[in-house]
């Protein structure tokens, strides 16, 4: 019984194995046929010596268009010797792939016809399947033309200026016609000569290099002469110090001396000075969130504690935006965007003190103008030099030097007089000393006293760690201006220390397709591009 029942099971198993084998063979055959078809198309099979135009699509060229293009290629061969093939198909390929494929097409044409590869050429259009206005085009020419009248950059121009534009409208015949016409003109006459090329061969190679060099040298002499006439301090540079030069000068005016003009940072510096004088106090505006520490508002307390014109002006700026006695954080951000009304006060004091020299704006404009002139001359000179006037490169270099020299001296030219530069010396030493102290663990700065200056002089980033620590509620000695008694906006009991980040969040922080080109393994060169 066991032997009799085993035989049918073996036969069923054999039948199943045979069926699986047949199915696998059929699948391999179908895949092989598909691959062969694709390979045939990719390998440009079926090229014949008597035919130069191949349309492997259904609607790219009609019979009359194909005949016209065939005639153009025949005429190109008889007039120039260039043996060129045109091939159109549907294939999803980028510009780099098309460049490789058009080189292969040229090699296949050479192999199929026996033509000399040095004079053989190919034009390939890969149309996007299912899209009439999407295509890639490429051209590849033998070394006779690649090294001659149709170099690599001109092949790129044929692709971009002749082949591609008609393809954007789905006009394959127009694309091939324009490309062949441009190619024939290039071979016979050389690439198109522009007005710039003619200029480079004429004036650009004779008097222009000398004239350009002379103008650039003259400009450099003017830059040196104007910059040499700037004011220079008579007081030597002083050693950095953390001792304030005097206690009467407003922080806004001190930073103007250092930076040579009124600064936006002078406003928050003055606000902190008012807070230290208990003329105003900070309150929580936006409460701390998960990712920030909120913002502050200002409660105006006593205007009589504001000393001097700058503090009075800042108080007026705050009062103009207050809701009752409170200036919201959003309004404070608007105030912090610039020096506001303090600019006129600071500028007037600088001028009345004789610290601003007359005519500096005009001289800086001259230096900047010469720099712009040098830049324009350098750009124009590069265009002419690369078009066939290599002697112009010397003038280009001099013009570039004039560009750098003019703009850099315009920036460095101080608007201050000798008196202004001398007056700024001690404040510059103070700024450098305070900044240095922020990095030196052995050098201490009284943050309560120096905070208005730190902010006005733009040194807040250097003191960020110290300021964060000094406004931490757990600090043993928190900053006085950020420590407010509990009020209506806070929970009862004990003083509230506002974080530095809440203040700095309001003031400090607010203060066409590619072209592929390459050489081929068989000699020559080509280019390809996309719509």
Cα–Cα distance for residue pair 318/19, rounded to 1 Å: 92
List of residues 6+ apart from 93 with CB closer than 8 A:
101, 126, 136
Q: Which among 152, 44, 37, 138 is positioned nearest to 94, based on CA atoms?
A: 138
Cα–Cα distance for residue pair 122/102, rounded to 1 Å: 6
Taken in order of first residue, the domains within the chain and their CATH numbers are: 53-192+519-530 (3.10.310.50), 195-498 (no CATH)
Cα–Cα distance for residue pair 115/141, rounded to 1 Å: 13
Enter the DSSP assignment of 238: P
Q: What are phi and psi of 484, to 5 degrees?
A: -120, 145
Say if residues 191 and 376 touch (Cβ distance below 8 Å): no
- Residue 246, classed as helix, strand or coil, is coil
pTM for this model (two decimals): 0.57
**Residues linked to residue 120 through DSSP beta bridges, in sequence order:** 83
**pLDDT tens digits, the chain, 531 residues: what are they?**
333 333 444 444 454 555 545 545 444 444 344 343 333 445 688 898 889 999 998 889 998 999 999 999 999 999 989 899 999 999 998 888 899 998 999 899 999 989 999 989 999 999 989 888 889 999 999 888 888 888 888 888 889 899 999 999 989 999 999 999 989 888 888 766 555 555 545 555 566 777 788 899 999 999 999 999 999 999 999 999 999 999 999 999 999 999 999 999 999 999 999 999 999 999 888 776 666 667 889 999 999 999 999 999 999 999 999 999 999 989 998 998 899 999 999 999 999 999 999 999 999 999 999 999 999 988 877 877 776 667 778 888 999 999 999 999 999 999 999 999 999 999 999 999 999 998 886 677 888 899 999 999 999 999 988 888 888 877 777 888 888 643 434 444 445 678 888 888 888 755 544 445 555 656 666 666 666
Distances (CA, A) of 399 to 219, 228, 255, 332, 410: 9, 20, 37, 47, 16
| Residue 381 confidence (pLDDT) | 78
Provide the greatest CA pair distance for the chain.
126
Positive or negative, the CA dihedral 393, 399, 400, 402 is: positive
Distances (CA, A) of 373 to 110, 203, 390, 400: 54, 20, 21, 10
How many Cβ atoms from other residues are within 10 Å of residue 36's Cβ? Answer: 11
Alpha carbons within 13 angstroms on the beta-carbon side of residue 394 total 12
Cα–Cα distance for residue pair 410/428, rounded to 1 Å: 21
- Residue 516, classed as helix, strand or coil, is strand
Cα–Cα distance for residue pair 283/482, rounded to 1 Å: 9
Enter the DSSP assignment of 343: H
- Residue 240, classed as helix, strand or coil, is coil
How many Cβ atoms from other residues are within 10 Å of residue 60's Cβ? Answer: 22
Distances (CA, A) of 358 to 235, 256, 292, 415: 21, 18, 47, 8
Cα–Cα distance for residue pair 267/255, rounded to 1 Å: 11
Cα–Cα distance for residue pair 141/152, rounded to 1 Å: 9
Angle between helices 63-80 and 172-189 (to 10 degrees): 10
Give 463-513 as a DSSP string: GHHHHHHHTSTT-SS--GGGEE---TTS-SSS-EEPPHHHHHTTTTTT---
């Amino acid at each position: 019984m066991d032997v009799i029942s085993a035989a049918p099971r073996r036969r069923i198993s054999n039948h199943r194995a045979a069926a699986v084998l047949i199915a696998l063979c059929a699948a391999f055959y179908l895949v092989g046929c598909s691959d062969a078809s694709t390979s045939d198309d990719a390998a440009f099979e079926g090229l014949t010596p008597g035919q130069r135009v191949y349309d492997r699509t259904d609607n790219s060229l009609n019979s009359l268009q194909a005949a016209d293009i065939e005639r153009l290629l025949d005429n190109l061969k008889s007039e120039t010797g260039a043996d060129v093939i045109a091939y159109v198909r549907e294939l999803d390929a980028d510009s780099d792939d098309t460049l490789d494929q058009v080189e292969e097409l040229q090699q296949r044409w050479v192999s199929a016809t026996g033509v000399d590869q040095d004079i053989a050429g190919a034009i390939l259009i890969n149309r996007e399947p299912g899209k009439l206005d999407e295509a890639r085009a490429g051209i590849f020419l033998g070394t006779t033309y690649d090294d001659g009248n149709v170099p690599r950059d001109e092949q790129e121009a044929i692709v971009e200026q002749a082949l591609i534009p008609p393809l954007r409208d789905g006009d394959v015949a127009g694309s091939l016609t324009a490309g062949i016409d441009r190619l024939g003109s290039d071979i016979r006459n050389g690439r198109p000569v522009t007005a710039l090329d003619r200029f480079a061969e004429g004036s650009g190679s004779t008097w222009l290099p000398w004239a350009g060099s002379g103008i650039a040298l003259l400009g450099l002499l003017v830059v040196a002469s104007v910059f040499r006439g700037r004011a220079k301090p008579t007081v030597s540079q002083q050693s950095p110090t953390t001792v304030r030069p005097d206690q009467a000068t407003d922080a806004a005016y001190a930073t103007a001396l250092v930076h040579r003009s009124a600064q936006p940072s002078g406003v928050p510096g003055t606000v902190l000075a008012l807070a230290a004088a208990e003329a105003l106090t900070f309150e929580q505006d936006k409460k701390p969130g998960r990712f920030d520490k909120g913002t502050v508002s200002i409660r105006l307390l006593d205007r009589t504690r504001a000393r001097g014109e700058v503090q009075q002006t800042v108080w007026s700026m705050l009062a103009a935006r207050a809701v009752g006695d409170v200036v919201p954080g959003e309004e404070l951000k608007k105030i912090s965007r610039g020096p506001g009304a303090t600019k006129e006060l600071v500028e007037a004091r600088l001028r009345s003190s004789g610290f601003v020299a007359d005519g500096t704006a005009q001289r800086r404009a001259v230096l900047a103008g010469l720099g712009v002139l040098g830049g324009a001359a350098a750009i124009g000179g590069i265009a002419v030099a690369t078009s066939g006037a290599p002697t112009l490169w010397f003038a280009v270099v001099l013009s570039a030097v004039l560009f750098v020299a003019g703009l850099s001296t315009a920036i460095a030219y101080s608007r201050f007089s000798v008196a202004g530069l001398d007056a700024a010396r001690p404040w510059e030493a103070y700024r450098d000393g305070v900044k240095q102290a922020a990095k030196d663990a052995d050098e201490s700065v009284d943050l309560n006293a120096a905070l208005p200056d730190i902010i006005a002089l733009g040194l807040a980033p250097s003191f960020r760690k110290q300021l964060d620590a000094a406004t931490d509620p757990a600090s043993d000695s928190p900053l006085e201006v950020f420590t407010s008694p509990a009020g209506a906006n806070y929970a009862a009991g004990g003083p509230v220390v506002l974080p530095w980040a809440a203040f700095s969040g309001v003031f400090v922080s607010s203060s066409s397709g590619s072209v592929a080109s390459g050489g081929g393994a068989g000699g020559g060169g080509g280019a390809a591009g996309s719509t």
